[in-house]
Amino acid sequence: MRRSTTPNARVLAVATAVPPYELGQAEVMRRIELALGPRSREIMRLLPMFGNTGIDRRYSSVPIEWYETLHDWPERNRVYLDSALDLLEVATRRVLARTGRSLNDIDAIVVVSTTGIATPSLDALLMERMQLRRDIRRLPIFGLGCAGGAIGLSRASAMARNDPGSLVLFLVVELCALCFRRDDFSKSNIVATALFGDGAAAALISSDGEGAHIGGGGEYTWPDSLDVMGWDVTQEGLRAIFSRDIPELVTTKLHDVAVSFLSEHGLTLRDIDCFVCHPGGAKVLDALEVAFELEPGALVTARDVLREYGNMSAATVMFVLERTIGDSQPWRRALVSALGPGFTAGFTLLSNDLSS
């Protein structure tokens, strides 16, 4: 694992945004049963999964009726572009308002997204829409999946560190719900339908200002793991790939990788008093608690975010971070972590102790 140098950067604020359509988990399950159940016994067998996800509701960029008809890849991607930009603008304005900064203060943009294709990239489209400065440095990041929040945060902090005093806008947007395919009876499609929601987040990062220090970042990609998770691109859009072994991989493999990352920074798991984890699902959260030597149920904030928003891929860990920063519960060191395609673990260290 490669260790980054200790950056002089802070998270000044985090803000989140969700689209307007709320999807109640019970209603989604009812519609899946009515639409797909009569055509597949396997669907009926998988329906209890909806009640075991730990999710009460999610949010969608389109109304639930939209999913009941067929949509090809170009149409889905058009929805992605329009909705992603709407959410990014809302999140950007919210995070600027929280810090009293203006659009003209932004010196760089890092945008993470893996649920659609945009060329020009989302950062360029957002610049045009919001009339941002023409000399802003741009870094679009594609393909990190659920790990994008943790890894992207580290990339954005590196940009802030390399240009002291600059203001970096870090953005994440994922429209995972758009991947539902009404004629796909595979288990992966039903798992995705039970888990995925849409959302976006923004963070302002700079070496100037008040906020949690961003320490080292790192990642680890396991060998022979390319088929653990990802997307297939088909005529109907993106099709989710999930391995049934993900919770077991987290339970058995993540601990040693996390310990190795922390040791490079002179820390152990016991030195971390706050774990900001991407909540991929209820079973993954159980596995994370084992991997990080925590008591069962200890990842309360991650479970709350999962219950209220579902799995929004890379954006989800930023929802957890927003709540962690705003929580009155004091903490000194936090470990931001997420797992994504590759199969890759991403880490970023945060500290509220300036002497650490």
Active site positions, annotated: 146
Burial of 92 (0-12, 13-18, 19+ CB in 10 A): buried
DSSP letters, 130-157, are HT--TT-EEEEE-S-GGGHHHHHHHHHH
Helices 25-36 & 187-195, crossing angle to 10 degrees? 150
What angle separates helix 282-291 from helix 246-263, to the nearest 10 degrees? Answer: 40
d(CA 352, CA 116): 35
Residues 202 and 97 sit within 8 Å (Cβ to Cβ): no
Dist CA 23 CA 66 (whole Å): 12
> How many whole angstroms separate alpha carbon 181 and alpha carbon 188?
11
Question: What is the distance between the alpha carbons of residues 38 and 32, in angstroms, rounded to a whole number?
Answer: 10
Quote the crossing angle between the two packed helices 73-99 and 122-130, to the nearest 10°. 60
Q: Is 290 exposed, middle or buried (0-12, 13-18, 19+ CB in 10 A)?
A: middle
CA distances, 57 to each of 23, 84, 239, 309 (Å): 5, 20, 22, 6
Which of 252, 263, 187 has its CA nearest to residue 218? 263
Helix, strand or coil for residue 330? coil
